[in-house]
Structure 1
Amino acid sequence: MKFTLRVQANRQAVHFIDNVMENYTNIYSIPFSKELRFVLHELVINAIEAMEKIDTPSSYGKIQIQVLQNDEEITLTVIDEAQGITENDLKKALQFDPNEHYYNYTDRGRGLFFVKNMVDSIWFKHISRTKFLVGVSKKIHG
């Protein structure tokens, strides 16, 4: 099973993608469905926020989501039209330390840490100066 979604980078897209993933995981009885839905939700939110930071109007900016499932695993990729994350910021995000942020909790900043710990692998790729890919895979069988 493989499908690709291309959506405008706005908050309505988050709800649309959440609904698509909920239906997909329910119809096909996908193991780890809640975790996979959480992971994709976080990646899409991050992509939208990255595009908002560079002032890409939501009517122009697009996000591409691809879901690829085979017998052993599911791979999710999200491509945005932002500039990506620096190596230094990426390391910080993947090694979130709750003690370091004890008095500075916000509703954001922990997503990639949780995502990393819910999947089997995570990778990042600068496709171009303005396109950034985040991919994850999770074993579902075998």
Structure 2
Amino acid sequence: MYEMTIQCVATEEAIDFCDLLAEQIARFFSVQDCDMFVLSVHEAVINSVEAIKTLRKDAAKKTFLLSLRVTEEDVTVTVVDEGDGIPSKQLERMGEESLEDLLLAESGRGLLLIKEVMDEMWLERQENGKCAIAMRMRRGRNGSSDIHS
């Protein structure tokens, strides 16, 4: 099992870094769908960065955490930020709408996308009262890494 947590300042550079990290993790540990895994992590990170920038005047100093946990069966990703959490209206929509309903919308697809393409998605309440997005995708090829692809 492998575990790591990375703390990033909420910047465009951090988004790019997390995309690169997600891609390498997905390929090295052979998740079921590498592209959808990377896209899901990207959406969660974008949501965090946008929440921080929108809600915090001192956003340049605010951070988010990206945690990865790899087991023989799956890869779990958790993203926690210093924003105000996911609005309850958005959570309600997740139960009522599908990704297809919002396909052409300007925004609001990220959580639905994650919910539909990952094997599992859930929200976690943190000790500090914040809400984290967590997601899991199974590994392929009996959990073996394929570093040659």
CA offsets 1:36-63 (integer angstroms, 9 cap, x no match) = 1111000000011111221242321111
**Unpaired segments ≥5 residues, structure 1:** none
TM-score (norm 2): 0.80
Aligned ranges 1:1-142 → 2 under 5 Å: 1-93=2-94, 95-96=96-97, 105-106=105-106, 108-127=107-126, 128-129=128-129, 131-141=130-140
In 2, Cα distance between the equivalents of 1:31 and 1:15? 22
Code of the residue aligned with 1:135 in structure 2: it is: A
TM-score (norm 1): 0.83
Code of the residue aligned with 1:138 in structure 2: it is: M
In 2, Cα distance between the equivalents of 1:72 and 1:99? 29
CA offsets 1:82-107 (integer angstroms, 9 cap, x no match) = 110133321214543578668x731x
CA offsets 1:16-55 (integer angstroms, 9 cap, x no match) = 1111222233334443211111110000000111112212
Percent identity, aligned pairs only?
22
**Structure 1 residues 3 and 99: alpha-carbon distance in aligned structure 2, compared to 1, 3 A threshold:** closer
Question: Using CA pairs below 8 Å that are at least 6 residues apart, which structure has the higher relative contact order?
Answer: 2
Contact (CA 8 Å) 2:66, 2:78: kept in 1 or not?
A: yes
Contact (CA 8 Å) 1:3, 1:68: kept in 2 or not?
A: yes
Paired residues in the alignment total: 139
**Unpaired segments ≥5 residues, structure 2:** 143-149
Contact (CA 8 Å) 1:124, 1:133: kept in 2 or not?
A: yes
In 2, Cα distance between the equivalents of 1:91 and 1:105? 17
**Structure 1 residues 96 and 12: alpha-carbon distance in aligned structure 2, compared to 1, 3 A threshold:** farther
